[in-house]
Structure 1
Amino acid sequence: MRVLVENIQKQKTELRNVEIKEAGGGCPKIYDTLYSFSNQDEGGVILFGLSEKEGHKITGVYDPADLQVQVNNRSLEMEPVVHPLLNVFSIDGKQLVTAEINGLPYADRPVFHKAKGIQKGSYIRIGDADEHMTSYEIYKYQAYRQGLREDQRTVESDWIMLDTVRMQTFINTVKASGRFEGMSDDQVLTLQNVIKNGKPTLAGFMVFSKFPQSEFPGLAITAAVVPGESTGETDSNDARFLDNRRIEGSIPEMLEESINFLERN
């Protein structure tokens, strides 16, 4: 742990899997870090007893025994409960405490604060910060746990402006591999998850419809170039965007247009 402390003091920053906390006057707020570390593969370590305000100086903790009790109590507020591995050690006569948190298996995530609920109490680690999970990030975990495949769900409407040329090219390419030789076109499309029970899947619809946004307007790409390094900055003419485009069409078309946008900018 001495090496870890020295690395933090040398780099003057926290890490993706290390969070430092002052704990001279009591147990600090840690639930967001507990959850974000539990929701990443490598887990993480909370190091109590360093002061970020004082240049990562070793300040020690108020009471190692009570701090461990408080950390364990915070872990009981998690769903599912994750018990950190707690350790006490001394550097230069000051006591520090570490809480090592293992990342939970993907199927058990997201870990969240029971009192806040899954939508407001789920966190993810972004760099050295703990951020709220988006609804989509939460959905990905839930879909995985329930065995859902969003791309393979059927679309209730029939094909809209079906690109028959692209579809036939796809079928011919698949059959040319030899494995699907002798099968009907519908059998190939079913085995490739383009259709299911005679209906297009979402993946099939997004690839082979000429304009899938007529049914799913939200499934498009928004591409923007800002004058500075963050959204909200303006150029000398008060323009917020140097280039701003909504990219629509099938997935192959959106991919090609997105690459063109990147090359142009």
Structure 2
Amino acid sequence: MKQSELDSHLARLRTLGRDDALIEIKAWAHKSESKSFWETVSAFANNNGGIIVLGLEEPSFTPAPGFNAKDVEDRIRSGLNTSDQHAIRVEPVPDYSVELLKVDTQLCVVVTISPLTVNGPCFVKSKGVSNGSFKRVGDADQRLSALEVYELQHRFDKHASDREHVPGTDINDLDTSLTKAMESRLKRQHSRLDFDETNKWIKQKSIVTQDGELTLAGLMALGEYPQQFFPQLFIDVAVHPGKEKAPAGENTRFVDRVLCESNVATQVLDAIAAIRRNLRTRRVI
């Protein structure tokens, strides 16, 4: 970071009178203040990254008395040193940079944290994954929920479930009109797929496998009736008389209910139609 960039950020924060989603200011004049620093590292790494400026007091954003820039820099570099598993403070360690820049006449430590590029979450080791994983919300660091932790743990996984074959299916289970419409669209787009008399393009698009069975994606996108093989894969649109499924004193369970079957596109269109049919516009004079 250039000195001019830091000055620009501080000018913005002084106008706001607080930190924001991108910048966190910490005095760190005492060793006890290091705890929240690692929580902020976790929060920035698990979101869109951010900048931590150490050595300034809030809300004036002026140099903090007793701040030792060199000592703090050494402790941060030690806590992010992946070659020393005993000293490391967060895992996995995100990409980062540590710089010394001046604010007024005092050196401050500026730490730039990049978003994680591997499965996370980035968490404070001493707290564990469940209690030590954070996210940035406004100017605060908030603990991740169990679902958010799970999502970060699998964010960069490559799933191939849509390419799995569906036993007992073949090309005859495709909706002919949908398949032809897709073929026509691809041809209009000058696709380089092989549109020969054997319909080789269907295999090239992974709609069917090399053994002739439909893939899950092919069946759900272009299948004539996928529920023959996956009865549970449908959209259930239920309209209740109130805000609850079974309000007290109300005998009517549903005002309307539609089970949307067929391929995914048809299901979505049927679901939207059912929802629109049940929307009401009230005018009060």
Instruction: Say which SS state the counterpart of residue 96 (structure 1) adopts.
Output: strand
CA contact (8 A) 1:27 1:67 kept: no
Quick one: which amino acid aligns to residue 88 of structure 1?
L
Q: Find out whether 1:11 has 2:23 as its counterpart.
A: no
CA contact (8 A) 1:89 1:97 kept: yes
Which residue pairs with 1:112 in the alignment?
Answer: 122
Matches for 1:88-103 after TM superposition, within 5 Å = 88-92=100-104, 96-103=108-115
**Higher Rg of the two aligned structures:** 2
Q: 1:80 to 1:205 in 2, by over 3 A?
A: same
CA contact (8 A) 2:237 2:271 kept: no
Instruction: Say which SS state the counterpart of residue 29 (structure 2) adopts.
Output: coil
Instruction: Say which SS state the counterpart of residue 136 (structure 1) adopts.
Output: helix
Which residue pairs with 1:46 in the alignment?
Answer: 52
Which residue pairs with 1:60 in the alignment?
Answer: 64
Q: Find out whether 1:189 has 2:185 as its counterpart.
A: no
Report the Cα offset of residue 172 of structure 1: 4.2
Q: Find out whether 1:136 has 2:151 as its counterpart.
A: yes
Residues 81-112 of structure 1 deviation map (CA, whole Å, 9 limit, x = unaligned):
446322334435565321122445x4x44463
Aligned-partner Cα distance in 2 for 1:20–1:257:
52
Quick one: which amino acid aligns to residue 150 of structure 2?
S
Shifted more, 11-20 versus 188-197: the winner is: 11-20
In structure 1, list runs of 5 or more residues that go unmatched. 225-244
CA contact (8 A) 1:78 1:112 kept: yes
Instruction: Say which SS state the counterpart of residue 153 (structure 2) adopts.
Output: helix
- With normalisation by structure 2, the TM-score equals 0.59
CA contact (8 A) 1:205 1:212 kept: no
In structure 2, list runs of 5 or more residues that go unmatched. 1-5, 81-87, 240-256, 281-285
Which residue pairs with 2:253 in the alignment?
Answer: none
Instruction: Say which SS state the counterpart of residue 199 (structure 1) adopts.
Output: coil
Quick one: which amino acid aligns to residue 64 of structure 2?
G
Instruction: Say which SS state the counterpart of residue 29 (structure 1) adopts.
Output: helix
Q: Find out whether 1:154 has 2:164 as its counterpart.
A: yes
Aligned-partner Cα distance in 2 for 1:43–1:34:
9
Shifted more, 251-260 versus 27-36: the winner is: 251-260
Q: 1:10 to 1:214 in 2, by over 3 A?
A: farther
Residues 134-193 of structure 1 deviation map (CA, whole Å, 9 limit, x = unaligned):
4234323132xxxx4443x314444599562454334542575475332423x2221112
State the superposition RMSD in angstroms: 4.7
Which residue pairs with 2:44 in the alignment?
Answer: 37
Corresponding residue to 1:256 among 253, 262, 269: 269
Report the Cα offset of residue 4 of structure 1: 1.3
Aligned-partner Cα distance in 1 for 2:218–2:120:
29
- How many corresponding residue pairs? 239
- With normalisation by structure 1, the TM-score equals 0.63
Aligned-partner Cα distance in 2 for 1:222–1:30:
47
Which residue pairs with 1:228 in the alignment?
Answer: none
Which residue pairs with 1:87 in the alignment?
Answer: 99
Aligned-partner Cα distance in 2 for 1:156–1:84:
45
Instruction: Say which SS state the counterpart of residue 195 (structure 1) adopts.
Output: coil
Quick one: which amino acid aligns to residue 5 of structure 1?
L
Q: Find out whether 1:206 has 2:210 as its counterpart.
A: no
CA contact (8 A) 1:119 1:138 kept: no
Quick one: which amino acid aligns to residue 164 of structure 2?
T
